Amino acid sequence: MKGENEFVKFLVAGLVILAVLMAIFNLYVQYSGPACCTNQTPGYIEAVKTFPVPQFSASNMIETKTTELVSRHVYSGLLFGEDKIVYDLSKSALQDVKIKFKITSTNELGRLMIKVNDNLIENKVFSPGEYEIKVPSELISDRMIITIEADSSYWKIWAPTLYRITDASITFTSYFSEASQFKFYLGEEYMNLRFAKVDVIFTENVGKLLVDLNGRNVWNSPAANLQSIVLDKANLRLGDNIIRFAGDKDSKFTGYATIVVIFVTQYPEGINQSGVVTAVNPYVGTY
């Protein structure tokens, strides 16, 4: 009877030990490795890094602008020397250039001359009043030196030719462009790059968008309101990269963008089961 009791005790103890071993074995099998990474190179994963670009604006629209000139006594005489108004207007694709001014007083001893690149477009005695003079289209160029000056009083040596000019301005029409560019840094991401793109969301979308990456054009076309643009590794570089948003003629854009980079990196601790790591606090700055 005593032998049977001991046998039962040994049998129960054996079953308990077997149950504990099975529990330990099952736990080991369950957490031996995340299922997400079974098809990847041991110790490495594909990670995603994002660079959020602040709101940008880009445009190239035709506009009419006015530049104010200084008020001045314009004079010229043999014994008095001369003073004149000079303005250098440098702008491509200029149109409709007008010179406006007001003469508040004059001694009318000589003529007032208006010149564009030394070409005389007005040469007469002006009375006090307000004037608007249009520059002939054949004299409009990408650079125009505009002068308002008095002719000499010559033999009237007691006084110079004098005009008091105020409220002078030059009004012109041309294309005015605005661009936005941003800098982002690639280190390990460039060395182990798999894929890169920029996703753009437009709040204003008119015309043709121009996107340059490190001085090379990567997009030159109208864009959808939600547009993805692939960034080839050949246009990226190790270190600082510069992306620039601009517009072709008659184009205007505002919006937001995110640069997305997929690269291979070492397997980190605490990887989630998706096998994807999103960078924390990635660097992006204006340039």
Say yes or no to pLDDT of 6 above 80.
no
State the pTM of this model.
0.66
Say yes or no to pLDDT of 269 above 80.
no
List phi, psi (to 5°) of 14. -65, -40
Say yes or no to pLDDT of 36 above 60.
no
The pLDDT of residue 145 is 96
Residues 6 or more apart whose CB falls under 8 angstroms from that of 23 comprise none
Give the tens place of pLDDT for each residue, 210-249. 999 999 999 999 999 999 999 999 999 999 999 999 999 9
Residue ranges covered by each domain of the chain: 34-60+179-286, 70-176
Say yes or no to pLDDT of 286 above 50.
no
Give the tens place of pLDDT for each residue, 177-191. 999 999 999 999 999
Residues 6 or more apart whose CB falls under 8 angstroms from that of 264 comprise 41, 44, 45, 46, 47, 192, 194
Residues 6 or more apart whose CB falls under 8 angstroms from that of 225 comprise 201, 202, 205
**Yes or no: domain 70-176 corresponds to CATH 3.30.1020.10:** no
34-60+179-286: CATH, from 3.90.1150.10, 2.60.120.1200, 2.60.40.10, 1.10.730.10 = 2.60.120.1200
Residues 6 or more apart whose CB falls under 8 angstroms from that of 6 comprise none
Instruction: Look up residue 221 and give its two tokens.
Output: 């076309």
Mean pLDDT lowest among 20-29, 147-156, 181-190, 207-216: 20-29
Rounded Cα distance, 76 and 146, in Å: 17
Count the neighbouring beta carbons within 10 Å of the beta carbon of residue 83. 14
Rounded Cα distance, 268 and 277, in Å: 9
Mean pLDDT lowest among 44-53, 73-82, 193-202, 251-260: 73-82
Count the neighbouring beta carbons within 10 Å of the beta carbon of residue 14. 10
244 Cα distance to chain centroid: 5
Q: Do domains 34-60+179-286 and 70-176 have the same CATH topology?
A: yes
